[in-house]
Amino acid sequence: MSEQAAERLEAELRRQTDAARAAQSRYLSELAATAAANRPDPGLETFRSQPEQEPAMAVLTDTALPAEQRVEVLRRLGASLSRRAEYIEALLAIVRDRGDDAAVRSVALQTLGGAAFQVVRFRPHQQAYDDVLHDLVDDPVPELRETAVGVLAQQHDPVVQATLLGALRGDGPLPVERERAILLLAEDDHLDNLPWLQELYRNDSASVRAEAVRFMGSYPDAEPTLEGILRNKDEAPSVRQQSGAALRFLTPERFEAVAKEISTDPSDDPDVRTACLSALQHLGDTDRLYADADFVNRVREVRGDESAPQLAQVARDLLAQRPEP
């Protein structure tokens, strides 16, 4: 980089950092003023003399202030607030308080989630954080319920798994919509989720069916179902492609056989054919693939198919990478 270009870059970064500092300084002054205005004692000067977090926490914890103002504190200063133990306790208290504003609680939960990434520093608060997540499972705010159940289910938390299973069987209210509950249980493939996933697959939404099919890929017993879906020309192409990926994970050989048929079947959907051919080209035993002369000949017929240009391109690539005999 030329000296002039380096100088321009430095000047630009200087401008950005100066602007960030100025904005931060203005914001802290506003916070101090807001905190002082809402709490006459100890007064503005006292707040100004204290660390930036003090007026920030004063504003954040003042439930009389507009929610947007409190959310902004978390968005702008949440990370530095979550460096101090007492402030983490305050954030946990906000999330726990069902009488507080839902948006503030939600962003406070997000802030705690971000702080939890700092594993060593967050360790003293981990149990309290987990307890709050469990408290949220029956919270009246759907967004908070869904976040908490999602985080816990991904950790294979047995308590939340029992809650979801019980609710799916009619024992108690579902903390999240039924489809979501099944998918969250499916995060743990040690559970017998296949019947639930088969139920989910009967959903009208292709998006939901795609998710059901995706998780079926964790269950060897689902192989016939997945092959059937991959072959089903009446199914949405996106669901069929997902089914192909799941089938390939369970039995690569079976996928290869079916994918060879589909990818060279001119009556089938171009996207499904392309996805099958692309997987065959890049993954698995390509020596065996190229040794299948009948298949290679059929791919040759595909390479000039102007009605499916993407498929034709994949076919040309596949043939171009074929090793010399």
Partner 1 sequence: MQIAIAIANPDAAGRNYLTWAPVRATARVVDPVGADPVAVTVSNDDAQAGGQLEFAAERDEPRTGSLDLTLPADGTPVEFWVAGVVGRASSADGDAVLRVANPGEAVALTTKAVMVRVRKDANELGAAERDRFTTALAKLNDQGAGLFQNFRDMHRQPLALNQAHGAPGFLSWHRAYLLDLERELQRIDPSVTLPYWRFDRPAPRLFAADFLGRTGPFGDVIFSATNLLRQWNTDGAPGISRRPQFNVQNSGAFVSDDGTTLAMGGLPPDAIFDTGTDSGGFDEMEGDPHGFAHTSFAGWIRSTGTAPRDPLFFLLHCNVDRLWALWQWFNNRFDGTLPRAYFFRGSAGSAVATDIGHNLLDTMWPWNNVTGFPRPGNAPRTPFPAVPTATAPGPAPTVGDMIDYQGLLNAQSDMNFAYDDVPYGVAPSNPPG
Q: Which of 209, 202, 213, 222 is nearest to 245 (CA)?
A: 213
Query: Among 62, 135, 187, 265, which residue sits at the site for partner 1 (rule: CB under 8 A)?
Result: 187
Q: Specify the residue, 6 or 257, whose C-beta has the smaller distance to partner 1.
A: 6
Nearest residue (CB) to partner 1, 270 versus 298: 270
By the rule CB under 8 A, 9 interacts with partner 1: yes
Q: Return the number of the residue (123 or 322) whose C-beta is nearest partner 1.
A: 123
Instruction: Provide the token pair at 303.
Output: 């390479």
Nearest distance, CB of residue 220 and partner 1, angstroms:
11
Separation between Cα atoms, residue 28 and residue 32, nearest integer Å? 6
Q: Least separation, in Å, of the C-beta of 1 and partner 1?
A: 4
Part in contact with partner 1 (CB under 8 A); list of ranges 29-37, 97-105, 160-168, 273-281? 273-281
Residue 83 as a binder of partner 1 (CB under 8 A): the answer is yes
29 lies in the binding site for partner 1 (CB under 8 A): no
Residue 177 tokens read as 């919509």
Of 233, 282, 288, 322, the one binding partner 1 (CB under 8 A) is 282
Q: Which of 6, 159, 257, 291 binds partner 1 (CB under 8 A)?
A: 6
Residue of 243, 313, 255 whose CA lies nearest to 279: 255
The interface region with partner 1, picked from 30-38, 56-64, 93-101, 215-223 by CB under 8 A, is 215-223
Structure tokens at 206: 């292709």
Residue 118 vs 297, nearer CB to partner 1: 118
* 275 near partner 1, judged by CB under 8 A: yes
Which residues inside 138-167 make contact with partner 1, applying CB under 8 A?
146-147, 150-151, 154-155
* Nearest partner of 281 among 303, 308, 265, judged by Cα: 303
Please tell me whether residue 3 binds partner 1 under the rule CB under 8 A.
yes
| Angle 238-241-243 from CA coordinates, rounded to 5° | 110
Kindly report the CA angle at 247 between 277 and 256, in degrees rounded to 5?
Answer: 40
Within 13 A of 22's CA, how many CA atoms are on the CB side? Answer: 6
Cβ partners under 8 Å of residue 50, min gap 6: none
